[in-house]
Amino acid sequence: MEMNISQSSVTAAVQSLESQLGVRLFDRLHGGVRLTIEGARFLNHARTIVAAVEDAVRSPLGTERKESGHLRLATTYTVAGYFMPRHYARFRRAYPRITLEMHEVPRDRLEPGLVAGDYDLAVMLVSNLGNREELAHEVLVRSQRRLWMPSDHPFCDAERVGLHDIAREPYVMLTVDEASETAGRYWERAGVRPNAIFTTSSVEAVRSMVAGGMGVTILSDMVYRPWSLEGQRLEARTVFDEVPSMDVGLAWARARPLSPAAEVFRRFMSVAIGGGGGE
C-alpha cells in the first residue's frame, strides 16, 4: 500500500475504532467498502481536527522566532531542578535571538523582586503565591501530591491510605520552597500531625531515606522518581484525604505590561505544556 501499512493492519485498526465508538463506520460490499452515515460524520470531525493541527503548525507563533530581546527569568530551587531544564533548552533552540537570563531566587526574595522589576517573569509554585494583589499568575501544570514509601511497605497493598494512617508512620519532611508550610496546612485540616523524624531541604535525601525504609513522605509527582540514587525502589500512592496539588506556573507584576520577549516566553510555555490553566 502507499503508506506501507498492510491491509490486515488497516482492517484491525478500523475494527478497533468501530468497537471503541460503538458504531459501524463502513458498509462492507463485494467491491470494497462504503462509508456509513456515522462514518461520514466521523470523517468530517477527523478532517476538522487535522485542519486545526495544520493551522497550529502555521500559527503566528512561528513568526515570533524572529523576535529578539532580553528576558530576566526568576525561578525557585525545585522548579529549576525538576521542571525548567527541558523547557529552557527548547526555548533557546526555538528563539535563539532572545537572551534568556535565568536566576534561581530564594522564595522570600522572588515576589518582591518581581514587584520591584528585578525580574520580568517567574516560573514558580504559584499555588504558594502570596502577593496576589500586585502579581498576576497563570497555572501551567498541576502536579498531584502522593504518598511515597519503600516498595515493601504494608501501605503498598492497602485499599486506601489516609492522613490518619500516615501520621502513625515515621515521616521524612521536605522543607525547601515552603514545602513544610504547605504540608502543615493540609495536615492541620485533617486534625493530625506527621511524625517527622527528619527534616531536610534535599529532595534526593528524602528519596533515599524513603526508599531505604527510614520513613514515608508526601511529595508531588513532579519530583517523583521510582529509584533512589542507591538504586532502591520506592512506590507512590494517592492519599485518600484531600491533599492539594503543587501548581507550577508563571507570575509577573500587574503594574508593568510584559515585554515582547516575556510575552513570547509566556505563549511558548502555554503551548509546551498544552495550554495554561488560567488564574
For residue 31, the model assigns a pLDDT of: 63
Spatial separation of the C-alpha atoms in residues 126 and 245, rounded to whole Å: 11
DSSP 5-21: --HHHHHHHHHHHHHHH
pLDDT tens digit at each of 279 positions of the chain: 444 456 666 777 778 787 777 888 888 776 667 778 777 778 777 877 776 666 555 454 555 567 889 999 999 988 888 888 888 888 988 899 999 999 999 988 999 999 999 999 999 989 888 899 999 999 998 889 999 999 999 999 888 899 999 999 999 999 876 777 778 888 888 899 999 999 998 999 999 999 999 999 999 998 898 888 888 999 999 998 888 888 899 999 999 999 999 999 999 998 877 644 444
Spatial separation of the C-alpha atoms in residues 17 and 42, rounded to whole Å: 11
For residue 22, the model assigns a pLDDT of: 81
Asked whether this chain's domains 7-58 and 67-143+247-273 adopt the same fold, the reply is no
For residue 23, the model assigns a pLDDT of: 81
Strand partners, 251: 122, 137
* Fold exhibited by the domain 145-237: D-Maltodextrin-Binding Protein; domain 2 (3.40.190)
User: Element (H or E) spanning 138, and its range?
Assistant: strand 135-143
CATH number of 7-58: 1.10.10.10
Q: How many DSSP H helices and E strands does the chain contain?
A: 9, 12
Task: Sheet with 98-104: list strands edge to edge.
Answer: 98-104, 69-75, 121-125, 246-253, 135-143
Domain boundaries, the chain: 7-58, 67-143+247-273, 145-237
Contact partners, residue 139, CB within 8 Å, separation at least 6 = 126, 247, 248, 249, 276, 277, 278, 279
Neighbour-count burial for 242-278, b at 16+ CB within 10 Å, e otherwise: ebeebbbbbbbbeeeebbebbbbbbebbbeebeebbe
* Fold exhibited by the domain 67-143+247-273: D-Maltodextrin-Binding Protein; domain 2 (3.40.190)
DSSP 61-98: GGGGGG--EEEEEEE-HHHHHHTHHHHHHHHHHH-TTE
For residue 182, the model assigns a pLDDT of: 79
Phi then psi dihedrals of residue 5, to 5 deg: -120, 130
Q: What is the DSSP letter of 258?
A: P
For residue 155, the model assigns a pLDDT of: 93
CA atoms within 13 A on the CB side of 181: 8
Spatial separation of the C-alpha atoms in residues 60 and 67, rounded to whole Å: 12
Residue count (the chain) = 279
For residue 1, the model assigns a pLDDT of: 44
- Please report the sign of the dihedral spanned by the C-alpha atoms of residue 151, residue 152, residue 156, residue 157: positive
User: How is residue 196 written as a grid cell?
Assistant: 517527622
| CB-CB contact of 177 with 222 (8 Å) | no
Do β-strands 98-104 and 32-35 pair in parallel, antiparallel, or remain unpaired? unpaired
Under DSSP, is residue 195 helix (H, G, I), strand (E, B) or coil?
Answer: strand
